[in-house]
Chains A and B, each alone.
Chain A
Amino acid sequence: GENVEQHPSTLSVQEGDSAVIKCTYSDSASNYFPWYKQELGKGPQLIIDIRSNVGEKKDQRIAVTLNKTAKHFSLHITETQPEDSAVYFCAASIGTTDSWGKLQFGAGTQVVVTP
């Protein structure tokens, strides 16, 4: 089955700097890669996703890149702010009805933005 590895496990950045989280996956059939943000006491919330027919996607200060050949994808947060502090999870899925949308998650990255 799919295996997703996520690095680093913790990331401390100064406010205004950039943060990068990297994930690798094992199943070449995976074609959907979402990123979730989990704030303290809340469930994970989808912040951005990318599908395998796209190499990069941006949404304001966050961007995701995908390298299907190398089977890795990354989350980039620019101009970090204290409210970006949270746990971030990457995930991979084979996006067909047969897979029923099963997501395989990485272990998570605790991001701390210090003022």
Chain B
Amino acid sequence: DVKVTQSSRYLVKRTGEKVFLECVQDMDHENMFWYRQDPGLGLRLIYFSYDVKMKEKGDIPEGYSVSREKKERFSLILESASTNQTSMYLCASSTRVTGVDAFFGQGTRLTVV
């Protein structure tokens, strides 16, 4: 089974802190994604990566950055956390062969106080 693992289920951080969300997949997938999930808004794409050290902005990249130093790991970075970044964050991966069958992690519920 494909496994996408996010390092934390719940995080509480203070305004202004630098926050790292980690995601690891074990299926040798080329593509990795970070989504943000908010009630009534569905899932919105923050950043994605289609190869090591490659990254592309999604629909809502402001206030975020990403890092992909190894194929299996994709990190989301909040440079200076703000209360409007309180949300559920979901990581996903997919193969380039199909490019579309995304497998999701269990999510990280981040609260910024």
Contact = CB atoms under 8 A, between A and B. Distances in A.
A49 B98 CA distance: 13
A96 B104 CA distance: 20
Contacts of A89: 42-43
B75 interface: no
B99 A106 contact: no
Nearest to A6: B42
A41 interface: yes
- Name the residue among A9, A101, A102, A104 with the largest chain B CB count within 10 angstroms: A101
Given A43-B4, A43-B90, A101 B102 contact: yes
B56 A100 contact: yes
B104 A44 contact: yes
A105 B96 CA distance: 20
A102 B48 contact: yes
Contacts, number: 71
A107 B94 CA distance: 21
A43 B100 contact: no
B50 interface: yes
Given A100-B48, A102-B48, A108-B42, A95 B105 contact: no
Nearest to A110: B39
A45 interface: yes
Contacts of B44: 105
A65 B4 CA distance: 29
B53 to A, nearest CB: 15
A29 interface: no
B25 interface: no
B99 A43 contact: no
6 A-B pairs closest in CB distance = A43-B104, A101-B99, A105-B42, A105-B43, A107-B42, A101-B100
